[in-house]
Amino acid sequence: MECEETRVDVRKTTGEEMEAMVRRTQLIFKINHTMPFTPEYDSLVSELFGDRIGEGSRITAPFNLVASEHLRIGRDVYIGGNMLGMCRGGIDIEDGVMIAVNVSLLSNNHDLYDREILTCKPVRICKGAWIGAGASILPGVRVGRYAVVGAGSVVTKDVEDYQVVVGNPARPVKTLDGTRFGD
């Protein structure tokens, strides 16, 4: 997925944007300290994501999201605890994705010379992909349909559909039989 980089100067954040960020941060804190699998928990998650989280999806606390308004979660997605989402560049998680614990999804970074500038590229996790524990997905990466990212991997480049990648940097080790997924 070749995608264009956008740049955000955080010094130009408006008062209104700052208020919204504070509210989202407080909501995340409250979710992280609320009993899961309760109506209160579900209500807070719904308030944070609105229509950007699909039916049957579950995000497990604790989690940390920056710019959560740029995160979209499809239907029947499972996200394990301790996920870090740096979402300013946009993160799109499609239906049926499984994300294990301690995963980092990073759609932004800082300019090497002016750290107040965010460099942003979207991250896309396609339908049915599985991201292993402790993996990091870097800005601009697309993880293909039903692809598998091995535990602890650092994904710096796109992962093809049905591909299994492992390591740092992640490299392909296998291609799964796409006909076995019943699509």
Token duo for residue 109 = 């970074």
The whole-angstrom separation of Cα 124 and Cα 146 is 13
Residue type for position 117: I
Tell me if the pTM is above 0.75.
Answer: yes
CB contact set of 182 (below 8 Å; sequence gap of 6+): none
Q: Give CA–CA dist 147/165, Å, rounded.
A: 8
Average pLDDT taken over every residue of the chain: 96
Q: Which two tokens stand for residue 172?
A: 């392909």
Local confidence band at 183 (pLDDT 50, 70, 90 cut-offs): confident
- pLDDT for the residue numbered 182: 81
For residue 181, the Cα-to-chain-centroid distance in whole angstroms is: 23
Residues 127, 98: Cα–Cα separation, whole Å: 9
Q: How many CB atoms lie within 10 A of CB 15?
A: 7
Q: Is 53 in contact with 36 (CB distance < 8 Å)?
A: no
Model pLDDT, residue 67:
96
Q: Is 97:130 a contact under the CB 8 Å cutoff?
A: yes
pLDDT in tens, 126-180: 999 999 999 999 999 999 999 999 999 999 999 999 999 999 999 999 999 999 9
Q: Beta-carbon neighbour count of residue 81 at 10 Å?
A: 15
Q: Could you tell me the domains of the chain?
A: 6-175 (2.160.10.10)
Closest CA to 17 of 84, 70, 59: 70
